[in-house]
Structures are given as C-alpha cells and as structure tokens.
Amino acid sequence: MMMRHIFVTAIGISFLLVNLANETLAAEAGFAERDITPDIGMEQPGGYGKSFHRTLHDACKVRAAVFKDGESSVAILGLDALMVPRHLVLACRQEIEQRCGIPADSIMISASHSHSSGPTGMVQPGEYDHASEFVQKLAYEKSSTADPVYLERVKVAIVEATCEAHDKLAALNVGFGSGTEDKVAFNRRFRMKSGFENTHPGQGNPDILGPAGPTDPEVGVVAAWGDDGELVGCIVNFVCHATLNPGGISANYIYYLERVIQGVMSEDVIVVFTAGASGDVTQVDNLSPYVRPQPEQWSRMVGGRVGAEAVKVMYSIETTKEFAVTSRNKVLKIERRPPRPDRVKAAYELLQDPSPKADATELAFAKETVMLDALLQKQPFADVEVQAVQVGPVVFVSNPAEYFCQYGLDIKKGSEFPLTFPVSLANGCVGYVPTEEALGPRGGGYETRLSSYSNLIPTAGTTIANEGIALTKQLQPGVIPTRAPHPPFSGTGWAYGNLPPQVD
C-alpha cells in the first residue's frame, strides 16, 4: 500500500506541475539602452588583419529587454558589436545578478555582428601571453584585437542598460509574431561545376550550379505597448550578416531597421536586435544580373525592409499581460580541430621568410594556423553555451557561433514552441560553425578553413542544435494571444449584401 500511495502522490504532483506550467502569470516588461559608440581611431573589427575607424556614420548601442512573470525574470540584450567575448559575458552577468537580481543564467547577451562597430574582438587582451614572442607579435600587432578600455566601456553599458530595463518593469501589453522578408538576404555559398563549394564566387560566374545552403526569411517580433497605445520596446530577430558598412562607425543595417520602427511608432522605442543563424547568409545576391547598390543605399534597403516587415507584424498581433518567462542553459565542452604538424611547420616558414612568395590570403591563413597552434596549447576545448529563453509563446535559442543557416532551421523544426527564434553570437564567440557537409570532401569556402577564430570539430553544429532543441523540450510553450472567437452563425447575414442585382 505504501508503494501505491507513493505512486498516486507522484501522479498528483505530476498533474500539479503540468497545471502550473500551463498557467499564465501576470508579467511585466522593461526596456533600456546605452551608447557604446567607439572613438575615431579605434580598430574596426571583422577581418583577420587590422583596420581603423576614420569617420562616424551613426551610434552603436547596447539595447536590453527584461521580462518578469512574478516568479522568474530573464534579460535579452542585443549589442551593435561584431562579437561578445565569453569573459565579458560572465563578468556582466555576475554584476547584473548582484545589482538587480536577474539570475546570471537567465541573461542572454548577443551581438549583431556589425562589421562597422567597436573593437570587441577578435583577439582578446592577454589571450596569447603564454605564446612565443613571434606568435604574440602576430596576435597583437598583426591581427584584429579587442581594446581593453573599450571592453570596460561596453561592460558598464551592458550592466547599466539591463538594470535600468529591470527598474522600468511594468505591466505592458506584449505581443508575439513573425513575418517574411525574402528580398534582401541570400546564401553566399554555392555548389560549383568543379564539384566543390565556393563562398562568393562572383556575380555572373558561369561555373555556379546553385546555392549550397538555405536562407531564412522569417522576421521574428516580440513587442510591448503601454496602456496609452504607445510602443515602448520590441525585439526583432532576422537572419543576415551585418556587413553592409554604410560608411564609418555604424550599427550597420540595424540602424535603418531601428529608424523605420521609430519613424512609424515613436522615436523613443527601444529596438533590441538579435541575429539569427546567419553564418552563411549575407545581403549579397551572387545570382543577380544587376550592379550592387552603393553601401548607404544598400544599408537603407536591407534595414528598411526588415524594419517595415517588423512594423507590419506589430500592427497585426494581439497582446497580453499574462505570460510565463523562464530559461535553461548548458555549457558544452567542444573539441577544437588541430592543424596538421606539416601545415604548422610550413606556415612558420612562410611567415619567417623576409620575401614570401605568397598572396595576402595565403599569408593571412598561415598567420591563423600559427596562432591556432598556440591557442590549442592553452585551450584544446571551447566553452560553448547553449541557452533557451522563453517569453510566453516565444523561445530564443542561442549559440555563440557564426552559425550556418541550416542549423537554425533545424532548431525551428525541432522546437514545439509556436515561435522559435535562434540567436547566434550570444554569450561568447567560437567563430564559424559550418555544416558537416560544408566541412566534407566536397565542401569549401573560407568559413571552413582552420583559424584561431573558427576551429571546432565538424560535428559541433549538430551537437549545438540538438542541445538547443533539448533545452526547449524542458519548457512549456505558451499560446500566442488571439482575439475572442466569433459567436456561432445566427442564421442571418448582412441585409444589404443579400440583395439581387437591378439592371432594368
């Protein structure tokens, strides 16, 4: 009898937990932002060598959204940055938890991957202090490096924006939805007549057979209004590299996305942008027969169309003040793949040659081979955090990679949530994570080459996707709010509409 009693009690607890999971809770939302515009003369990140900012186009920002359901709180941040290094994420989370009580593991900090932003990467301060003087010179003097002063500025901005958003928590009217923008983003990798894959083979190249990967045109939206009908803040999720560079320091196309939303709604709206799985998706249409737009026009077009689609979604969705928020995360230890010893030896010899017979690409990857060899001495495995943050019927599933688009689609397919928005380059950065096919014998493209930036084993992308899907299974999906159902048909239609024609 005792065993039976325990069994029945467990069943009862199980039903109780299910009911609690399905229960909608009174929820609050808050938004805030801070400026992180780099100084003129600071490094412009995004390449394997050094480049410096000389002009200013528009401001770079940290934007934060905080949600609380009475029991749990979560924060989702979008930065106008190439990447957010792991050490910065951990430091910010710790301080935010201490200052405003949001659990560290419930904070998602993501980068837009703007190539026109401030120096948050690639090489981190002190990262190669263990290496030889020769390797240190390659890392610190010949590579794109993070600025410790700027990193501290970004840290302060992340903490302040998140805590202000927490302080602004209010019972807002929150809606959830998605739309489609399929005219501005394209897969940049192609299957070629050679039998291999090629990244950006060039417009009009007759050897192109077709795209080697998909795109994802979904524009994901979470938006919050005050009782006065004014939009307070929103989150927009979209899949496209931020490599437009309209000219000088800039949030990239996200600037124009924000301008469109603020222009229609209110100039005070906080627009949090999260980048989807866009590792192989950019604004460049290699199949187009037309000349590419100029950078400024191109930035307006991409950001404007995505922003306009987000506005259309906002005008279509219903809202609620009751939804659950929660999060799950898991840190994976994923092995890095080492370069062959003979390649390391050849790379050293090439770089030490005072008159190397090699082009810039070969020299760049020789440098990266030597740096990776040194990195592996200290970090043979990478910390890869996968996180799922729920806001009602939406789940944001993050990874710290320039994640190939197919994996994002796989996560969406495997999730049971009504809306699933993958977020790349969140909570750290491990570089490109291509598909296993792209890393296979018929693959190719620079994303598949070993570097100090991109070096995880071929199965990493599948592992990350499976873990992300598994985390979503631990959560109870909410329901997208809808209008009340129409009452049953009364048996009479509109009198004006039920009239015969008169033509006599």
Q: What is the pLDDT of residues 62-99, one digit of tens each?
A: 999 999 998 899 999 999 999 999 999 999 999 999 99
What type of residue is 225? Answer: W
- Structural contact between residues 112 and 36, judged by C-beta atoms closer than 8 angstroms: no
Strand partners of residue 423: 398
Overall average pLDDT of the 15-23 stretch? 42
Sheet holding 325-335, edge to edge: 325-335, 381-391, 394-398, 419-423
Overall average pLDDT of the 269-278 stretch? 98
Overall average pLDDT of the 1-30 stretch? 49
Question: Is pLDDT above 80 for 1?
Answer: no
d(CA 216, CA 223): 21
d(CA 35, CA 18): 43
Model confidence band, residue 490 (pLDDT cutoffs 50, 70, 90): confident
Q: pLDDT tens digit string along 256-267? A: 999 999 999 999
Model confidence band, residue 461 (pLDDT cutoffs 50, 70, 90): very high
d(CA 343, CA 356): 16
Overall average pLDDT of the 133-137 stretch? 98
d(CA 459, CA 414): 18
Question: Is pLDDT above 70 for 226?
Answer: yes
Supply the angle between the helices 360-378 and 133-141 in degrees, to the nearest 10: 120
Question: Is pLDDT above 60 for 36?
Answer: yes
Model confidence band, residue 16 (pLDDT cutoffs 50, 70, 90): very low
d(CA 323, CA 417): 14
CA dist 305 → 205, 214, 308, 462 (Å)? 28, 20, 5, 31
User: Is the pTM higher than 0.85?
Assistant: yes
- Percentage of the chain beyond pLDDT 90 is 92
Mean pLDDT value across the chain: 94
CA dist 151 → 10, 86, 119, 158 (Å)? 50, 12, 8, 10
- Structural contact between residues 476 and 22, judged by C-beta atoms closer than 8 angstroms: yes
DSSP 8-state symbol, 445: S
Question: Is pLDDT above 80 for 321?
Answer: yes
d(CA 120, CA 424): 16
Compute CA 193 distance to the chain's CA centroid, rounded to the nearest angstrom: 33
Q: What is the pLDDT of residue 24?
A: 63
Model confidence band, residue 504 (pLDDT cutoffs 50, 70, 90): confident
Q: Which tokens is 207 given?
A: 């050897």
Q: Which tokens is 136 given?
A: 């240190």
